[in-house]
Amino acid sequence: MKKVSGYFIITAFLIFLGLLFYLIDEIYIERVLAGKIEFQIEKGESLNSVVKKLAEAGLVRNKFITRSYLFFNGLETSVKPGLYILGPKYSVNEIFEKFNLGADLEVKVFEGWTVKEIAEALSELGVIKDSGDFLKLAKNFNNSGGAYEFLPKKKGVDLEGYLFPDTYKFERGSVDSAVEKMLLNFRKKVILKYAGRHPEELRNILIMASMLEREVKTDEDMRLVSGILWKRFESEVSLQVDAALVYIKCVFMAESESDSSGCRQLSNADKKIDSLYNTYLNKGLPPGPISNPGLRAIDAALNPIESGYWYYLSALDGRTIFSETLDEHNLNRVIYR
Please confirm whether the linkage preceding 88 is cis (ω < 30° from 0). Answer: yes
pLDDT of residue 15: 57
Helix, strand, or coil here: 36? coil
Is the pLDDT at 260 greater than 60? The verdict is no
Same domain, 166 and 252: no
In the chain, the DSSP E strands lie at: 31-32, 37-41, 82-86, 89-90, 105-108, 167-170, 311-314, 320-323
**Model pLDDT, residue 162:** 97
pLDDT of residue 258: 42
CA atoms within 13 A on the CB side of 1: 0
Three-state SS letters, 258-310: CCCCCCCCCCHHHHHCCCCCCCCCCCCCCCCCCCCCCHHHHHHHHCCCCCCCC
Question: 47-56 and 63-72 are packed helices; what angle lies between their axes, rounded to 10 degrees?
Answer: 140
Instruction: Please indicate, yes or no, whether residues 15 and 74 belong to a single structural domain of this protein.
Output: yes
- 10: number of CA atoms within 13 Å, CB side? 6
Q: Give the pLDDT of residue 256.
A: 45
For the segment 122-140, the average pLDDT, to the nearest whole number, is 92
Q: Looking at the structure, do residues 96 and 109 belong to the same domain, yes or no?
A: no
> Within a domain: residue 334?
no
Is this structure's pTM higher than 0.95? no
Residue finishing a domain among 166, 191, 216: 191
What confidence tens digit (pLDDT) does each residue in 66-124 have? 888 888 777 666 788 888 888 888 888 888 888 888 777 889 999 999 999 999 999 99
Mean pLDDT of 238-266: 80
The number of beta carbons lying within 10 Å of the beta carbon of residue 108 is 11
The answer to whether position 268 is within a domain reads yes
Specify whether the CB–CB gap between 159 and 141 falls below 8 A.
yes
**Residues 6 or more apart in contact with residue 14 via CB below 8 angstroms:** none
Question: What is the model's pLDDT at position 58?
Answer: 87
- Are 227 and 307 in contact, with CB atoms under 8 Å apart? yes
Average pLDDT over the chain, rounded to whole? 87
- Using a 10 angstrom Cβ sphere, with 0-12 exposed, 13-18 middle and 19 or more buried, the burial of residue 273 is middle
Q: What is the Cα–Cα distance from 275 to 248, expressed in whole angstroms?
A: 8
More confident residue, 5 or 128: 128
Contact 288, 161 (CB under 8 A): yes
Out of 67, 101, 135, a domain closes at: 101
Question: Domain holding 67: CATH number?
Answer: 3.30.1490.480
User: Which residues sit opposite 37 in a β-bridge?
Assistant: 86
Which of 191, 217, 234 is the last residue before a domain boundary? Answer: 191
Who's near 115: CB < 8 A, 6+ residues apart?
134, 135, 138, 139, 158, 159, 160, 163, 251, 292
CB 139 within 8 A of CB 120: no
Residue 259 has pLDDT above 80, yes or no: no
Q: Higher model confidence: residue 151 or residue 257?
A: 151
Residues 203 and 297 in one domain: yes
Say how many residues make up the chain. 337
- For residue 337, being part of any structural domain is answered with no
Report CA Rg, the chain.
27
What percent of the chain has a predicted confidence (pLDDT) above 70?
Answer: 89
Say how far apart CA 284 and CA 261 lie, in whole Å: 29
Give the model's confidence band at 257: pLDDT under 50 very low, under 70 low, under 90 confident, else very high. very low
- The enclosing H or E element of 255 equals none
Q: Is residue 319 part of a domain?
A: no
The count of structural domains within the chain is: 3
Give me the domain span that covers residue 120: 105-191
Domain match, 274 and 205 both:
yes
